[in-house]
Each structure stands twice: as C-alpha cells, then as structure tokens.
Structure 1
Amino acid sequence: MKSTQTHVYQTTPEELTDNILIGVDVKLREFFKKYKPSDKDEEELLTVDDTLKILKCSKQALWNWRKNGILPSYRLGNRVYYKKSDIYLKLIKQE
C-alpha cells in the first residue's frame, strides 16, 4: 500500500475568501478576453442559436430576457437577432 503525504494549511476565512476571489477574477478575465468582440465583430448580428451557444442558456431564458428588455433584440422579418456587442456589454455590466 502506498502512503501519501497530507499537507495541512492554516488560513483565516479572510485569506480563503481572497484566494477564491482571485481565482474567480482570473477565470472571468479569461472568459471576457475570449468572448470580447473585436472592432469588426461589434456590430455582428447573431442568430438565436449562436446566442444560446455563447450564453449557454435555454431558449426559454433567452426569450424571457428579450421579453423583459434585459437583452435587446432585433427583428428582420420573422427572425430574431442579437448584437454580439450587446451580449458582451450585458455580461460585463450585469444591469
């Protein structure tokens, strides 16, 4: 049987909270760097399916956000589109 070493660290709740927040901050920066639209993409219109892939939510949730004015949408005929820049700004501001 193999034995393994166990390390015990003593941290205060404040230090633990700070470490967690630093980790969350790093992950959020990576996410926004990945999905931040470039200047040429800012006005790109996305279909509902494309928007669902970016937001990783259900069609019902997206429809509710559109209905309640949380995420602006644009209609061309029978189709609904979302601006990539609007999605990015909404994720950043969380208004």
Structure 2
Amino acid sequence: MIEVSRVQLREIEIKLDETIKRLNKIQKNVFNSEIIDNADFIQLMQISSSTAKNWRNKGIIPYSQIENKIYYKIEDIQIMLDIHYRSF
C-alpha cells in the first residue's frame, strides 16, 4: 500500500490547479479568436491533416483558403459539432 502524506497530496493539488489554469488559458485563447488556421484546427479537433482535408472536400466543415493557407471560423466549427451531435 502506498501512503501519500498531506504535503505530497497538497503539492499534487497545486500542480493540477496550475495545469488546469494553463489549459483554460489555451482554450480561451482559441475560442476568443474568430478564426483559426488549419494547424490549430487539427490540434483542436485532434485529427490528422488528411482527415481535415477529407472534411473540407466532403463539405463537412466550411473554410477559407488564401493561397496555401486554410482558415476556419470558430462559429463554423461549433455549427459542425452541433449538426453532428448525437445524444444517448
């Protein structure tokens, strides 16, 4: 049996709180912007670049392209997620 002292437990809680704050800050930065690029979209959705390309080609997600750079509106991402939402 592993015993954790109160001090060790408190240190873990502090580290978890710091991690949660950092994640919340990252999430707020993404959702406070009106558009994101393809790299951010891939990271946000945790998909591959080929999946993002397939979604664009199938018309699943609207996008804008300026030369080789692809952009998505945050509002369009939310709409896509709402359309494909399945409740159980």
Shorter-chain-normalised TM-score: which range? 0.5 to 0.7
Corresponding letter in the other structure for 1:69: G
Percent of matched pairs sharing the same residue? 28
Q: Scaled by the length of structure 1, what TM-score is found?
A: 0.52
With CA pairs under 8 Å and 6+ residues apart, which has the higher RCO, 1 or 2? 1
RMSD between aligned alpha carbons? 2.3
Runs of 4+ in 1 over 3 A off after TM superposition: none
- Runs of 5+ unmatched residues, structure 2: 1-26
Q: Scaled by the length of structure 2, what TM-score is found?
A: 0.56
TM-superposed CA distance for 1:77, in Å, is 2.2
Task: Say how many residue pairs are matched.
Answer: 58
Write 1 or 2 for the structure with the bigger share of helix. Answer: 2
- Runs of 5+ unmatched residues, structure 1: 1-33
Corresponding letter in the other structure for 2:83: K
For 2:40, the equivalent position in structure 1 comes to: 50
Which of the two has higher C-alpha Rg?
A: 1
